[in-house]
Structure 1
Amino acid sequence: MNQILPIRARPLAGSSSLWSSSLWSSMLWPATLVLLALALSGCVHKRIRPGAAPTGAHYTIGNAYFAAGEWHYPRTFDAYDRTGLATIIPPGHEAATTDGEAFHQSGLMAQSPVLPLPSLVRVTNLTNGRTLVLRVNDRGPPIPGRIIAVSRKAATLLGFPRSGVVEIRVKLRVRRSTALQTALGAGPRPIAAPVASVQAAALPPPPGAAGVAGTTGLISPTSAAPTTAPRSPDAPLSGAVTVEPPDPGPLYVEIAGFGSVNDAQSLRARLAGLPGNVVPQPREGRTLYAVKLGPYRSVATADAALRQVLARGIPDPEIIVH
């Protein structure tokens, strides 16, 4: 806010101080009021920061970006199945998501630092097994060591703890995501056929989610063809919650993607003082290596280890559940 300084009037030569004071008061009050109005208008202008208005969903990937000490590389994925930590989207979000949709905390939506927008993901709370399909349409969260942030409605349905941070599994629904992205202008990509079935069981809705029905049945690639018409790729999500066996585990900080065991061991040497080792990771017919630090039995200790890795100038650490 602009500061308004007091203006001191000096009496005119040869005039009484009373006349001088009255004259200057009549001259200065209008000017002071104008300056005050301008100053207040400047304050209001600085405080109001309207967000971008929603323009409708459009396919978005975006460039690599740096946030909260980490680089993120958005890209397409033939498969995405990861564990880690989730959080809740905080208050104060702008009116629009990164891909142009209207944002609201009552929607079944989520943020991802890397997935194409929009994407559909199957999110599982590993501590209680609750599973829900969400629409990823925003970038975030801007917190190191978090792979997804969800709306408050999604957090309620998934049974997040009061802390808002929970062990999570995020799996991309490749077919539906690709159909949705193609409808919004993305080029076609080959899709691998599913090779495993998923068991689902009925689940009563958690507190605060009355009226949300669970689903039952076996989802299998060999099931009979549905008798109803296929859903539109942009059809609203059902909000149905299913349940799987809970699968919580200790937390690790992982730096992955080394093609040489020597490179991985060299990085491990830079992290002296932190518990961990080098582990092989077979992928697509070849073996990569990762530095795996831990185990850590709490989010706080895993976060502290992650901060130490970042402070030593080592990029791309992730917190995983194993």
Structure 2
Amino acid sequence: MLALAMVLALGTGLASPATARERKLAVPEVSGPAGDYPVTLGDPFVVDGVTYTPADTLNYDAVGKAVAMGVEEGAPARINGAHRTLPVPSYVEVTSLSTGRTILVRIDRRGPMSGDGLVALSPMAWTQLGLPGDASAPVRVRRVNPPEPERALLRTGQAAPQRMDTPQGLLAALRRKLGLEPPVGELPVSIHPAEVAASPTPNPTTVPAKPAAKPAPAAEKPAPKPISKPAPKQEAVAPPKPATPAAERPKPTAAAGRYYVQIGAFAQRSNAEAAARKAGGSLVQIGSLWRVRSGPFSAGDEADRGLAKARAAGYAGARIVRD
């Protein structure tokens, strides 16, 4: 009887994970780099009649719905997530298709185990991404290979540096790929400029200009002709003055100065100094590590040139980050 009771107890324990929203695989809880190895794939499984086969897809990039992950009793708060096919553990950048905000997430379990969600996010990840309290939200999930310092932050329950926001043009393309309409807030922006552009054509200011030209011939006797000629010259001089709005161009560069090219992170200062000399960067100490980066740059061509320079120097893992 005792043996039978033990068998029943074991059977019950094995059945419970299958009904959970996410299933945690046997990944060792290690805080160092060894915590990311070995990588586990697992066997194919079925969710709502669909078979999912885990695979080590390096260039994984998909759009879908993010759902909130259930909170485990006594589990530490971390920025992690669940995916049905990516290796465990692995790292992805999750982008909100509503705001363009992007965060780094560590995939350490299988899920969601029900519904049509693409990825399940922990409460901490959900909050960092700025998602609403709804049941789901449209996102992009892209697999990445972050440097060890960022991996260590996620393994210890901390957040990695914030990524650069996704441009609106790319967001619109990703939303169309998912079959979503553009946010309602974008419509008035395109409507108002059209109305403003149409209104200047029938401006009443151009109508009085024509009648003013008619009385001019009657005043030709007192020789007012030279007076009418300088008048247009003054109008021609006035327009160049408003050309000063060009002074507004430096404003974006000041705001965009928060972007840097992260070249790498090193445990030994001598290696970091060598990388800084080679790639034209500077050193920043973070705990026991030395981070090498260049900048600040603008978010446009200047930052891209800095990234190209770092990669040309042999640092293929260089990336643009925002402080």
> Looking at CA atoms only, which structure, 1 or 2, has the larger radius of gyration?
2
TM-score by length of 1: 0.40
